[in-house]
Amino acid sequence: MSGQGTTGEGKKVVVLDYGFGNVRSAERALVRTGAEVEITKDYDAAMAADGLLVPGVGAFAACMKGLREARGDWIIERRLAGGRPVLGICVGMQILFSRGIEHGVEAEGMGEWPGTVGPLKADADHAVPHMGWNTVTPAEGSRLFAGLDAGARYYFVHSYAVHDWELTDINPAMAAPVVTWAEHGAPFVAAVENGPLWATQFHPEKSGDAGARLLSNWAATL
Catalytic residues: 90, 203, 205
Residue 162 to residue 191: CA distance in whole angstroms: 10
147-to-31, 34, 121, 150, 204 alpha-carbon distances in Å? 20, 18, 31, 9, 15
Which string of b and e fits 111-150 if b means at least 16 CB within 10 Å?
ebbebbbbebeeeeeeeeebeeebebebbeebebbebbee
Q: What's the full length of the chain, in residues?
A: 222
Contacts 24+ apart (CB under 8 A), 42-49: 43/71, 43/74, 43/75, 45/14, 46/14, 46/16, 46/75, 46/79, 47/75, 47/78, 47/79, 47/84, 48/12, 49/12, 49/13, 49/14
The answer to whether the peptide bond before residue 85 is cis (omega within 30 degrees of 0) is no
